[in-house]
A and B are shown apart, each in its own frame.
Chain A
Amino acid sequence: MHTIYEWVAGPLTWIAFLIFFGGLLYRLVRLVTLVRRKEPFIFTYMSLKYGLRSILHWSLPFGTVNWRLHPVLTIVTFAFHICLLAAPIFLMAHAILFKEAWGVGWPSLPDAVADGMTVVVIAGAIFFLVRRIVRPEVRFVTSASDYVLLAIVAAPFVTGFIAYHQFFAYRWMLVAHMVSGQIMLVAIPFTRLAHMLFAPLTRAYMGSEFGGVRRAIDW
């Protein structure tokens, strides 16, 4: 048990983070190379001003017509994504692990807050799952991979929640938590979870086209 823990917390974590950052870098370099080779005009039209203008509107809850059309989804999706990013980074246990390993630390959230955020992520994942099944326009374009991706994202939070509260099988749950977190990190660059990297870029390009060429807004 102890050796499994050591192995997962040590080398596997290193590998996961290397693949995560390396993978994102690889995808970005591949994308830029492809643009240079096949569609260099994208650089011509990219505009910092209009790109950021568009990203800003879409980053604000209710900042666009479509966010306002779907108020519940908007609240859930913003809460989900903010908690998804913030909870793991600012969790005290994670911060301590980093401080022990590298000597660098950062401020962390009180455990109760992080616990609440975890619940938000899990609830959000359930909301997305139900929405996928219930809404015809979403169900129509859903494939098995969409459920798998949702499970990959939800798993570290579910296992983390169970481990933190020590409901059952604490040590095994801790290992499952780490492994599922590593799976998520590895999956991000190579699945549609890559929207973490690509969404700002596609939004910026559409914003640039709308602002710079079409003289119109895109939100």
Chain B
Amino acid sequence: MAQPTQSEAKQIVDPGIEKGAAGLTEDRIQAVINHVIQNETGARLKVYVDTCVHCGLCSEACHYYLSHDKDPRYSPVGKVKQTLWEMLRRNGRVSVDFMRRAAEIAHTECNLCKRCAMYCPFGIDIAYLMLVVRRIVHLLGMTPQYIQDTAHSHAAVCNQMWVKPDEWPDTLQWQEEEARGEMPTLRIPLEKEGADIMYSVIGPEPKFQAQLIYQAAVIMNAAGADWTMPATAGWDNSDMAMFTGDNEVMGRIKRDHYETAARLRVKRIVMGECGHAFRSVYDVGNRWLGWRIPPIPIIHAIEFYHELITSGKIRVAKKFQTPVTIHDPCNVVRGGGLHHMARELAHALCEEVVEMYPNCEHNYCCCAGGGVINCGPPWKSKRIEGNRIKADQLADAKIRGAKVLIAPCHNCHSGLEDINHAYGLGMEIKFFGDILYEVMEKPEA
């Protein structure tokens, strides 16, 4: 089943990286690197570099390292050596080729999943160090093309997928109309001030996964939730600028999101099944804007569905019969501790739950998150080769009976779909929302 990884990856040309590299000089590179090191980093970078004893114990944490037959170039510390250590050692005086490789490492060989922080005895945050490299890459204008396009979209229309201001409410009304075929009284309340919940989604949902909005509307209506969705910008909780090192845009779109919720005077923001968006609104955007914790409580779909089931607002008509297994997304599990709730929810919805190992905080990454899948088609096969270990892990769960894989995160979902196909696993991948929608009692059905 496991396909052999190529020992020498072929040179991948990314138009974004090349365009940026074309106009660079070593002087400019040095100026940018030293600007970032001196003005934008502080104690963490210094202590992490001064404390690392080069022991290599972080290696076993990384799915890239494990998937490439333990090639040391893919170990977490190996990536720091090939990027930041060299930059610091040469006082920022590195070549254009060096930066090309650094951009590739930081953007396509690390998912920022932070598993290595749990394997380093000192707790060195290598994901943070890779983000510093991405920041340098961003300021040099060398960000890979596809993810840069999503960052441009965030900057221009405040969502990830170039959804125009009129297309957004149109899509919601279209889904409302569709869903009324099933539930005649169903509403998707727009701009309802003072509602309990603002429901927010990521750009790809209106763009090409509108059925997820349909399902969420059915769940909300069946539960009798007092909810609303904004008709304006600020509806998108996703944030690729967070992963391109474009902190200014990242902060701006997070501010829009929180301010939209504040304008609607909602008590809390419930979000769809997305991991990186959870990270951006729960942990990153708030910090950039100066809040210790998010100004309005953020509830991930796992928590919300868990609440609906345990409070009895949604009842299960007949449990999901096919055996399932659970993928623990880094951003909601290592980043939000939702693995226990995910399991309780899975057991409440499904007849048989097969555990996949390693699990919970120690789960292997999907290899799509952290903006890696957003670097687009040029990097797709590299991404799939870089996660053979995940295919092995899934195959093991399948042997033990799991046929459906629950992945409560959009990036995980897409990345696992690629792995599923490439390695011929033949599993079906679902969101919790898909299963909840399928098994719940629908009052007016």
In contact, A138 and B55 (Cβ under 8 angstroms): yes
Q: Which residue of B44, B81, B122, B124 has the most chain A CB atoms within 10 A of its CB atom?
A: B122
> Which residues of chain A from 22 to 70 have a CB within 8 Å of any chain B CB?
31, 34-35, 37-39, 41-42, 44-45, 54, 58, 64-66, 69-70
> Which residues of chain A from 190 to 212 have a CB within 8 Å of any chain B CB?
192, 194-195, 198-199, 201-207, 210
Number of interface residues of B (CB under 8 A): 48
In contact, A203 and B336 (Cβ under 8 angstroms): no
**Knowing A58-B121, A69-B60, A216-B333 touch, does A35 contact B43 (C-beta < 8 A)?**
yes
B393 to chain A, nearest CB (A): 15
Q: Which residue of B53, B119, B283 has the most chain A CB atoms within 10 A of its CB atom?
A: B53
B41 to chain A, nearest CB (A): 7
Chain A residues with CB under 8 Å of B51's CB are: 192, 194-195, 198-199, 202
Chain B residues with CB under 8 Å of A218's CB are: 117-118, 123, 361
CB contact between B78 and one of A137, A195, A201 (< 8 Å): that residue: A137
Chain B residues with CB under 8 Å of A66's CB are: 57, 60-61, 118-119, 121
Cα A70 to Cα B47 in complex, Å, equals 25
Against A, the Cβ 8 Å flags (1 = close, 0 = not) of B96-125 are: 000000000000000000000111011111
Closest-by-CB residue of B relative to A73 is B57
In contact, B287 and A203 (Cβ under 8 angstroms): no
Q: Is B72 an interface residue (CB 8 A)?
A: yes
Q: Is A140 an interface residue (CB 8 A)?
A: yes
Q: Is B295 an interface residue (CB 8 A)?
A: no
Chain A residues with CB under 8 Å of B361's CB are: 216-218
Closest-by-CB residue of B relative to A42 is B43
Cα A64 to Cα B119 in complex, Å, equals 8
Q: Is B401 an interface residue (CB 8 A)?
A: no
Size band of the interface chain A makes with B? 35 or more
Chain A residues with CB under 8 Å of B336's CB are: 214-216
Cα A207 to Cα B125 in complex, Å, equals 11
Chain B residues with CB under 8 Å of A45's CB are: 292
Q: Is B362 an interface residue (CB 8 A)?
A: yes
In contact, A137 and B70 (Cβ under 8 angstroms): yes
Q: Is B337 an interface residue (CB 8 A)?
A: yes
Cα A29 to Cα B310 in complex, Å, equals 50
Closest-by-CB residue of A relative to B39 is A38
CB contact between A39 and one of B44, B56, B335, B338 (< 8 Å): that residue: B44
Q: Is B334 an interface residue (CB 8 A)?
A: yes
Chain B residues with CB under 8 Å of A42's CB are: 43-44
Chain B residues with CB under 8 Å of A204's CB are: 123
Q: Is A14 an interface residue (CB 8 A)?
A: no
In contact, B43 and A137 (Cβ under 8 angstroms): no
B235 to chain A, nearest CB (A): 25
Cα A174 to Cα B389 in complex, Å, equals 54
Cα A142 to Cα B54 in complex, Å, equals 6
**Knowing A192-B52, A214-B337 touch, does A31 contact B43 (C-beta < 8 A)?**
yes
Residues of chain B touching chain A, judged by Cβ–Cβ distance below 8 Å, are 41-44, 46-48, 50-57, 59-61, 65, 70, 72-73, 75, 77-78, 81, 117-119, 121-125, 283, 287, 292-293, 333-339, 358, 361-362
Additional pairs, 12, CB under 8 Å, beyond known A66-B57, A146-B53, A206-B117: A34-B42, A38-B42, A38-B43, A65-B358, A137-B75, A138-B55, A192-B51, A195-B51, A203-B123, A210-B334, A214-B337, A218-B118
Residues of chain A touching chain B, judged by Cβ–Cβ distance below 8 Å, are 31, 34-35, 37-39, 41-42, 44-45, 54, 58, 64-66, 69-70, 73, 135-143, 146, 149, 192, 194-195, 198-199, 201-207, 210, 213-219
